[in-house]
Amino acid sequence: MSLNNSLGVNPEIIAIDAGGTMTDCIIVDSEGNFIDGKALTTPEDESISYMEAVRDTAGLWGLKPETLFPKVVSIVYSGTTALNALLMRRGKRVGLIITKGFEDYPLMERGLVWLGYSYYDRLHTTTHIHNPPLVSRDMVYGVSERINNLGDIIVPLNIDDVRYAAEELCRKKAEAIAIVFLYSYINPAHEERAKEIVMEVLNKYNVEIPVVTSNEVAPIMREYSRLNSTLIQAYASETTRLHMARIEVSSRKYGYKGRVYTMTAYGSLVSIDYPRFYETLVSGPVGGILGARYIGSILNLRNIVTSDMGGTSFDVGIIKEGIIPIVREPDIARFRLNLPAILLDSIPGGTGMVVRVDPITKRILLGPESAGSRVGVSFEFDQLTISDCDLILGYLNPDYFLGGKVMLNKEAATKAVAEVSELLEKDIYETAYGIVEILHSRCRDHIYSVLLGRGYNPLDFTLMVYGGGGPLHMWGFTENIPFKNIITFPFAAVFSAFGIATTDYAHRLHKSILAYFPPGDDEEMRAGSGIVINAAWEELENTAVSIMTKEGFDPDEIRFRRYLYIRYKGQLEDIEVLSPVDRIYDLEEDVNKVINAFEEAYLRIYPSAAKYPEAGYLILEVAVEAYIETPKPRISMYVESSREPPDKAFKGERDAYFNGKWHVTPLYEMGLLEAGNRINGPAIIEHPTTTLVIPPEHGIRFDRYRFIWYR
């Protein structure tokens, strides 16, 4: 990371992570040097906070937007617009055309009424309600047609049914139309013909609305999650695409000539023209775990736990043996989707969480509501938050929030905490400290549950802490967890944006198939399965090349990673396997390579006694990731200097409250600390975008990369 640069710098990449509280920005130059900044998010129009974050960051290199944007090659923007539209039900009025007899499928939800409920709530399912559907029942039309699971047409498509449905949806002023037929992922003929008919009707009435088919969006088995994916594409994704277009337009006003890209849930970059835009539904937190893998490759760390604390949530991810796990049917906003997504476990656990007291039990309740960009009563929110407690305990500097751009009102925070302390009949600072400890306990329990639930030992892992609230509360939520190492970063507050900047441009396409490698030497079965797999890979590769060529990329630059989803026959869950071969040609050598790769992946999850090769190997899905490498941020190496921090980094002292006592606490400016410096607690290290708190009997050191190792 370079904090200083000349006006002759050649910026190449702008990476943005727009969360509910802050919009984080990273700018990377042609040599890999990068700078970071941020701004409060403006949910009503994220293009405003986007430009504010860019201005804040570019100013560190003495650049203005009009001198920055003409030089930039790529802009990546990861936001929350689609997810917010889904959560708040502010999407389009959708019409659905579906196989006759399945009109109530959006209401049935496959019986998954427990989605989105906590573990304890799941024990009492009789109290649960179904997730409100994205399409009202009167906007659903069944049409006569049927294709079987082999792709054979059993009942021809009834054209009159389709035409009637399209005309009725026009009359009811549908803003988008989704088409979902059974087994269209095997044979899409009926969906494609239905779309043609719908477009004819729309043209007849001069109506321009999106028409989305499930075979375009999610050509994979599991009808319910395929239905949800298609509905969300119609309901929220097109709105998000328009929002991203505004970001692109605002950039081009200052001379930007390229496209704006965004991040998918599985960790790659796509343009705003990408047809499966619903895959970008959850993208912001993904950048952090990608950044952690990138840092891990530099430090030769293969087992990593990531913790991301922002203003709203606390996200935990695991990298095992350098591999980031992918889940293919995640639950998002109480919807199960056909969406490959990086596995992250999140709970409400941010510094903006609202603090309340149950008037009967006197129990302190945290969240799940968050003040977002309004911080707390110390700024623009009307309820007490964790940030207000941090402020009165001396952890936050009221005059240096966002480097002094936001001034916090300590008196208002003190008054709000006093009201809670009176209800609890406790000292005001004891109350604030107890509230913070509840947050710490919740996050500690979450880290432990994620690790132990997968059978992992913390001693084998390095914890990477980031997010604006990560360094601020690291001392509390890591207490008594025996990690091998704990690391945070000077750019921790914008770490997800940093991770986005490390990502290749890519498309990941999936397809359901049926292939089986039996035990023994059944060459005919192996050969047939090899043909099916090769054909599916080739189809996905051709589709990806077609998409990326239309986006302006040179086909010769496109590289591929191929995946198989394999299980022992008879098991219910499969495992993602990065294929060691490009195609299956040799029925002995290539198939054995695939099987060995599966069993190695299997043993990373299960004990060797669970292996069951006698059942054979079943493959129901394959995937292809087509990618083009992009420039990456360069992590600078420094000569380690004195263990003692330089005098210029010392900012004075402030009283801070730890474990029932006030301590005179030295203050340091993070940007002026050097490689090799060590600081023992109590101490507070301030940065315009975050604050690092070191309690008594703890300490940190800056290594040769200026990464911060906590002990």
**Residue 580 belongs to what domain range?**
505-628
Same domain, residue pair 19 and 105: no
What number is the average pLDDT over the span 388-417? Answer: 93
Contact at 8 Å (CB) between 98 and 234?
Answer: no
CA torsion 515-516-517-520 (nearest 10°) is -150
pLDDT over 90, % of the chain? 52
Domain membership flag for residue 483: no
Going by pLDDT thresholds of 50, 70 and 90, the confidence category of residue 4 is: very low
Q: Report the C-alpha dihedral over residues 420, 421, 422, 423, rounded to 10 degrees.
A: 60
Among 570, 599, 628, where does a domain finish?
628
Encode burial over 63-85: b for 16+ CB neighbours within 10 A, e otherwise: bebeebbebbbbbbbbbbbbbbb
**Whether 59 and 141 share a structural domain:** no
Is 304 a domain residue?
A: no
C-alpha separations of 581 from 14, 533, 578 in Å: 35, 11, 9
pLDDT of the residue at 126: 62
User: DSSP 3-state helix, strand, coil percentages of the chain (rounded to 5)?
Assistant: 35, 25, 35
* CA proximity to 662, closest of 394, 422, 466, 350: 394
Return the CATH number at 57. Answer: 3.30.420.40
Tokens representing 172? Answer: 């009811």
Q: Does residue 622 sit within a domain?
A: yes
| 252 shares a domain with 163 | no
Digit-coded pLDDT (tens) for 444-502: 999 988 898 888 899 999 999 999 899 999 999 999 999 999 999 999 988 988 998 88
- Whether pLDDT at 78 is above 90: no
pLDDT digits (tens, 9 = 90+) for 234-244: 887 777 787 78
Are residue 514 and residue 624 in the same domain, yes or no? yes
Q: What is the dihedral sign for C-alpha 618, 620, 626, 629?
A: negative
Mean pLDDT of 310-318: 87
Decide if 676 is inside a domain.
yes
Are both 572 and 520 inside the same structural domain?
yes
Within this chain, do residues 598 and 622 fall inside the same structural domain, yes or no? Answer: yes
Q: Is residue 52 one of the residues assigned to a domain?
A: yes
Q: Pick the most confident of 61-70, 217-226, 505-514, 548-557.
A: 61-70
| pLDDT (tens digit per residue) in 667-702 | 999 999 999 999 999 999 999 889 999 999 999 999
Residue 1 clears pLDDT 50, i.e. is over it: no
Claim to verify: residue 575 and residue 611 sit in the same structural domain: yes
Residue 362 lies in a domain: no
- pTM here is 0.82
Torsion angle of the four alpha carbons 427, 431, 437, 438, in this order, in degrees rounded to the nearest 10: 140
- Predicted pLDDT at 153: 95
121 lies in the same domain as 65: no
- Note whether residue 221 is domain-resident: no
Q: Does one domain contain both 102 and 69?
A: no
Domain for residue 162, yes or no?
Answer: yes
User: Of 209, 225, 251, which residue sits at a domain end?
Assistant: 209
623 & 518 share domain: yes
Domain count, the chain: 4
Q: What is the pLDDT at residue 45?
A: 79
pLDDT at 119: 55
Considering the domain architecture, whether residues 651 and 675 belong to the same structural domain is answered as yes
| pLDDT computed for residue 116 by the predictor | 63
> What is the Cα 34 distance to its own chain's centre?
22
Q: Which residue has the higher pLDDT, 32 or 190?
A: 190
Which of 452, 449, 582, 599 shows the shortest CA–CA distance to 517? 599
Q: Which two tokens stand for residue 132?
A: 């409100």
- For residues 515 and 619, membership in a common domain is answered with yes
Chain-centre distance for alpha carbon 78: 9
